Structure formats: C-alpha cells, structure tokens
Structure 1
Amino acid sequence: MLEIFVLGVLFGFAIIYARLNKFETISGMATLEDLTVAKAMAFAIGLGMIILPFEIGFMLATYHVKPFILGGVVLGGILFGIGMAILGYCPGTLAISAGEGSVDAIVGIIGGLFGGLVFTLVLPSIKGILGPNFGKVYLEKIIGGQVIIFYIVAVIVGIALMALAFYLNKLEGKKDKKWLYSGIMLGILNPIVFLEVVQNRPIGASTAFPYVADKIFGLTDNPYFLKIQKPGHWEVIFLAGAIVCAFVFALIKKEFAFKYIYPRWEKTKGNSKVKRLIYAFLGGFILIFGARMAGGCTSGHILSGGMQFAISSFVFAIFVFISLLVTGRLFYKK
C-alpha cells in the first residue's frame, strides 16, 4: 500500500508542476486557448511509446491493453469529452484540485460518484449498445510479432509525438517549459508502474469512483463490482497519495484556498457559485459515466493505452478530443 501511495504522490507532483489540474488549463484546452495539457500529454505518450515496448520486450513488464469495445469507447469518449469540458477536470485532476481546496472539484467528485453508481445500476440494460467487442487490439499484435519493425515504428511515432509537443509550444509562443518537465515525469512514471517488480499495471483513476460509490451504497454483490474491486481499491490509494501531495504543496506555497469561480468561467457563465457547483456536479456525473462506458479515462486510457499502441485508446482519444472541442466552443461561447 505504501508503494502505491508514493506513486500517487509522484503522479500528483507531475500534474501540479505544470498546473495540469487547474480548471483554467483544462477548460483552456477545450477552447484552444491553452495547449499545456496537449503538449504534456503528447510528450509523455511519445516518451512512453519508446520506453514501454522495450520493457515488455525484455520481459520486465506486460501489456495491459483495454479491449476495443466499439460502442462503449465511442459513446464513452463523447460523454467524457462533454463532461471534461463542462467540469474543467478529468478524474485524476479532480482529486488533485480537491486537495488544493477547489470546491467545484469536490462537488465534481460527488457527481462522479453518482455517475459511477448509476453506471453500475444500468450496466445490465445498456450492454447491447456497448459492443461489439473486438478484444485487445494493439500494434505489436496487428503486425504479427514482427518485433524489429514494431520497435522501429514505436521509436518513430514516439519521436513524432514529442516533436508535435514542441511544435504546439512554438505555436503558443510560450517560454515556460514546465509542461515539458511534467511530460517527462509522466512519460517515465507510467512505465515504472508497469514494471512487474513495481505494480505490473498502468496508471488509472476513474475506476475508483464506481468502486467507492458501490461500497458506500452496498452494491458489492454484482459482477461489475467484482470486476473492478481490485483496480478500484488500487486507484483509491493512488489518488489518496495525489490528494495529499496537492494539499501539502498548496500549504507550502500558501495557495490553499476554497475556490469556486475562475476567470474563464466568470467571463462566459457569470459569478454565481450555485450555478458553477450545479454544472460541476453534472460534469462530474457525465465524465465518470462516460469513462466507465469506455473502460478508462485520460490516464488509464489515453496516457497508458497510448503508450501501448492500443487501438481502443486511440479511438477513445479521438472522440474525447472532438467532443471536448465542440463542447468547449459551444459551452464557453461569450
């Protein structure tokens, strides 16, 4: 447990360092006014694409690819993007921002818990729209075990993504390199977690929500809870480390404060705290419901899956990005 907690602390620090958890940063991504998240994620995935395949090749780690369940990945990605744009957080950054005192993040967590609870309840009746299930599909499997070719492709694509991150930074014209350092930390941390001598699993966050909600409401005697019990427990400890990290750093930097409204929200939605909290709850609900439909979130699907060249994660990322931008354009319209 201590090791998981420490890994969560490191994850929290990597996110906090470039302010990737802030509402302004993520909502700015939705309106294309801030590319910090895109830059850090692109660099982290690119770096992980180079490191992780060699770990697996040397039998130091194994694949943990999420199955390509078409309906769930597409519909879940759309909902996730909508929730992320409205809320201004993703599952992992929700916990971190809550640790810094963001009240809207705390309410978003409550909304996420109800989203996880409702997903558990309705899952038996919506299974028909989640399929078809194409199984665990990833690049090395597709090219039929041509290891050398796979390594070459992994290095080329990894470098291309890291170059894309620098190109986006050039477009923004910013000199701040904190996004780069956060990207490096995330690109190294995830492969470390993958190691069999460490945790033999990827980083993740969204499973913690239905796990906690189902425990609170006593919905533990069903197939879905039994499926998520182990990863959900792991993610709760992991996120606890991230929350503590955020809280301690906020105190050290004298930045801990109960916050409701942020400049971009006030500029387009006004300064009503009640309105912001209502939307935070709804955003959290939609975010986690979408994540559970897709089987993962920003960290568990896009970051971890991208490093493994998982088709399900690439498709999820595409629909999240499109949905995020469309919702951002409409929702934050002045």
Structure 2
Amino acid sequence: MIVALISGFLFALIAQYVRLNTYDKIIATALLRSHEVIQILLFAIGVSSLAFFIEYLCGGTHIDVKPFYVVGVSVGGILFGSGIAILGHCPGTMTMALAEGSLDALFGYVGGILAGLLFTIIYPSILPLLGPNLGAINLYPQSNVAAGILVVAYAALLIFLGFKLSSPKNKQSI
C-alpha cells in the first residue's frame, strides 16, 4: 500500500508539472494530435505494475478478478469514454482539476458518485442484461516465477513504448 501511495504521489507530481490535467491536452490526445498523455500513462502503468507485483509478493495485497460481462463492459466503456469526452478529464486529471478549484470537475465527481451509487442499487435487476458471464478472465499464472517474468516483460514493454511513442508535438526539428 505504501509503494502504491508513493507511486501515486510521484505520478501526480509529474502530471501536474507537465499540466496533464488541462482540457487541451486531454482533447489533443483523444484526437490523436498529441501522445504526451499516452506516453506518461504507459510509463505510469509500467512502473505501477512492477510496484503492485512487489507488494503482492510481500503479501500486501491480493488479486480478485471479477467476471467478464461482454455487454456490461462494452456499455460501461462507452459511458466512461463519453464522460471523459464531455468533461475533458479522466478520473486522475479530474482529481487534479478539482484540487485547483475547477467546478466542472466537481460536477464530474458528483455525477460519477451518483452514477456509481445508482449502478450499485440496480445491479441485481440489470444483471441479465449485461450479457453472458465469461468468468474471471486472467492471464496471471499461478507460479510466482512465471508471473514475475510476465509482469517484468509487460512493464518493460509499456515503459519502452512510452519512451518510443512519437508525437507531432514531441518531435524536434533540426
């Protein structure tokens, strides 16, 4: 938990320093005009994956994979993406915007909390509409050695892609 907390603070500092939470950067990423946000997220996910695995090995956390419902995940993804497009913030950048006093972020948070509460209340009645339950899909092997190899390879790939991803804004002309 401590490693995750420290990683989260470091990510937030970097994100705040490069102004990752601005509407312009989020929309430029959505329109594929800039890859800065994607680069930072790839790096953050790579580092976080390693930190989480270390914490898992030390017994500080556990893995609980939820069932995969095709329709539910598809509709949820569309709603989540629509919220990002409307607000111009993902949940992480919305937190930074809220800390800076942004009212749209406040409305986004209130809307997200109310939507989550509504989903929790109606979940039992909409369960049949979520599509087939494909079970807990998990690529995580049971062996810690195999899992370690998988996590390190995954993290290295994400960090590599984060450094190599080119962006029209990131290219220097000579």
Q: TM-score of the superposition, structure 2-length normalised? A: 0.75
Alignment of 1:124-163 (within 5 A): 124-141=124-141, 145-163=142-160
User: What residue number does 1:17 align with?
Assistant: 17
Name the aligned partner's letter for residue 28 of structure 1. A
Shift, 1:64, TM fit: 4.3
In 2, Cα distance between equivalents of 1:33 and 1:173:
8
The percentage of aligned residue pairs carrying the same residue is 38
Alignment of 1:306-321 (within 5 A): none
In 1, Cα distance between equivalents of 2:25 and 2:88:
8
Shift, 1:122, TM fit: 3.5
Q: Contact 1:140 / 1:147 at 8 angstroms: preserved in 2?
A: no
Residues 146 and 32 (structure 1 numbering): CA distance in 2 closer, same or farther, change over 3 Å? same
Residues 45 and 121 (structure 1 numbering): CA distance in 2 closer, same or farther, change over 3 Å? same
In 1, Cα distance between equivalents of 2:125 and 2:46:
38
Alignment of 1:30-69 (within 5 A): 30-69=30-69
Shift, 1:84, TM fit: 0.9
Per-residue deviation, residues 236-255 of structure 1 (Å, max 9, x unmatched):
xxxxxxxxxxxxxxxxxxxx
- Please say which of residues 43-52 and 73-82 is displaced more in the overlay: 43-52
Q: Contact 1:21 / 1:97 at 8 angstroms: preserved in 2?
A: yes
In 2, Cα distance between equivalents of 1:116 and 1:149:
36
In 2, Cα distance between equivalents of 1:57 and 1:110:
36
Residues 117 and 62 (structure 1 numbering): CA distance in 2 closer, same or farther, change over 3 Å? closer
Residues 110 and 146 (structure 1 numbering): CA distance in 2 closer, same or farther, change over 3 Å? closer
Q: How many residues align?
A: 167
Residues 113 and 152 (structure 1 numbering): CA distance in 2 closer, same or farther, change over 3 Å? closer
Residues 86 and 151 (structure 1 numbering): CA distance in 2 closer, same or farther, change over 3 Å? same
User: What residue number does 1:165 align with?
Assistant: 162
Per-residue deviation, residues 16-56 of structure 1 (Å, max 9, x unmatched):
23322221221221111222221111111122333433432
User: What residue number does 1:189 align with?
Assistant: none
Shift, 1:121, TM fit: 4.5
Residues 67 and 21 (structure 1 numbering): CA distance in 2 closer, same or farther, change over 3 Å? farther
Q: Contact 2:34 / 2:169 at 8 angstroms: preserved in 1?
A: no
User: What residue number does 1:97 align with?
Assistant: 97
In 1, Cα distance between equivalents of 2:84 and 2:57:
35
Shift, 1:159, TM fit: 1.0
Q: Is 1:87 aligned with 2:87?
A: yes
* Secondary structure of 1:59's aligned partner: coil
Shift, 1:14, TM fit: 4.6
For the aligned residue pairs, the C-alpha RMSD in angstroms reads: 3.0
In 1, Cα distance between equivalents of 2:76 and 2:57:
32
Q: Contact 1:29 / 1:38 at 8 angstroms: preserved in 2?
A: yes
Q: TM-score of the superposition, structure 1-length normalised? A: 0.43
* Secondary structure of 1:52's aligned partner: helix
Segments of 5+ residues of structure 2 without an aligned counterpart are none
Residues 22 and 173 (structure 1 numbering): CA distance in 2 closer, same or farther, change over 3 Å? closer
Q: Is 1:174 aligned with 2:170?
A: yes
Residues 46 and 52 (structure 1 numbering): CA distance in 2 closer, same or farther, change over 3 Å? same
In 1, Cα distance between equivalents of 2:61 and 2:104:
38
User: What residue number does 2:116 align with?
Assistant: 116
Per-residue deviation, residues 204-236 of structure 1 (Å, max 9, x unmatched):
xxxxxxxxxxxxxxxxxxxxxxxxxxxxxxxxx
